Amino acid sequence: MVEHYVLLSSILFTIGAIGFVVRRNVLVQLMSIELMLNAVNLMLVAQNRMHGDSMNGQMFAFFIIAVAAAEAAVGLAIVLSFYRLRASVDSDEADALKH
pTM above 0.75, yes or no: yes
Residue 16 to residue 20: CA distance in whole angstroms: 6
Please check the confidence at residue 58 and state whether its pLDDT lies above 80.
yes
DSSP class of residue 61 equals H
Average pLDDT over residues 60-69: 92
Q: Which residues pair with 25 in a beta bridge?
A: 90
Comparing CA positions, the residue from 13, 4, 14, 11 lying closest to residue 50 is: 4
Nearest Cα neighbor of 95 from 10, 26, 21, 4 is: 26
The CA distance from 25 to 48, in Å, is 35
pLDDT at residue 98 in the model: 61
User: 42-76: string of b/e by CB count within 10 Å (b at 16+)?
Assistant: bbbbbbbeeeeeeeebeebbeebeeebeeeeeebe
pLDDT value of position 32: 95
- Report, as an integer, the average pLDDT of 24-29: 92
Q: 29-33, 46-50, 76-80: which range is least confident on average? A: 46-50
